[in-house]
Amino acid sequence: MKKEDQISVIVSVYNTEQYLAQCIQSILKQTYQNLELILVDDGSTDRSLAICTH
């Protein structure tokens, strides 16, 4: 894999408020920096959407 290649990480989000911030931080702290993080909220009823848009 070339350094300029971009990796897309897709995270399905549904009522994951309790774990979502830790999940996002873990993905963004990877040593490979050219990442695209896509969060897909499927109608969460907790604060998951607010965390995604923060």
The mean predicted confidence, pLDDT, of the chain is 92
Contact 20, 54 (CB under 8 A): no
Phi, psi torsion values for 30, nearest 5 degrees? -60, 155
Residue where the block lists tokens 């990877």: 30
How confident is residue 44, by pLDDT bands cut at 50, 70 and 90?
very high
User: In the chain, at which residue ranges do the beta strands (DSSP E only) sit?
Assistant: 7-13, 35-41
pLDDT over 90 at 39, yes or no: yes
